[in-house]
């Protein structure tokens, strides 16, 4: 799948999806949109865990990082469906940023501070979620 260009296709699909969502005349159903986003993001995460997936994405590092930065914003501010994206988006970013080429591109794009803030926010969320006596409103409890 990696050799046949699925990561490039997924990057385009996710970017097009984000562009369509921000368009004022977006006419997609919430369930198909959420399912497509979640499935595509999970597939991307699993494929980029492999070294060959990271290497395949490296020539398009800026486009990939931009897409997943936008997905991070969507997952952070979205409803329950979009919140389900967070583990996959975080997984993609964690995997890609372990590669020196992606880390350097993220720094050039000014993503370092934002990702550090997001990391703190996620840790605080996990600690807060675990301390509540009743179930929280996160996607996993």
Residue 9 has pLDDT above 60, yes or no: yes
pLDDT, tens digit, 9 for 90 and up, residues 108-119: 999 888 777 776
pLDDT, tens digit, 9 for 90 and up, residues 23-53: 665 555 444 477 888 999 999 999 999 999 9
Residue spans of the domains in the chain: they are 1-7+34-121
pLDDT, tens digit, 9 for 90 and up, residues 55-79: 999 999 999 999 999 998 888 876 6
Chain position carrying tokens 């497509």: 36
pTM: 0.77
Q: Cβ contacts of residue 64 below 8 Å, gap of 6+?
A: 11, 57, 96, 102
């Amino acid at each position: 799948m990696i050799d046949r260009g699925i990561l490039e296709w997924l990057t385009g699909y996710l970017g097009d999806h984000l562009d369509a969502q921000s368009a004022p005349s977006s006419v997609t159903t919430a369930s198909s949109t959420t399912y497509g986003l979640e499935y595509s993001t999970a597939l991307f995460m699993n494929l980029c865990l492999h070294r060959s997936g990271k290497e395949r994405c490296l020539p398009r590092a800026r486009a990939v990082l931009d897409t997943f930065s936008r997905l991070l914003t969507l997952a952070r501010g979205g409803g329950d469906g979009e919140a389900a994206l967070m583990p996959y988006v975080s997984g993609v970013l964690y995997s890609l940023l372990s590669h020196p080429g992606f880390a350097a591109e993220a720094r050039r794009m000014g993503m370092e501070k934002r990702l550090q803030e997001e990391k703190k926010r996620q840790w605080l969320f996990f600690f807060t979620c675990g301390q509540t006596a009743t179930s929280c409103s996160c996607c996993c409890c």
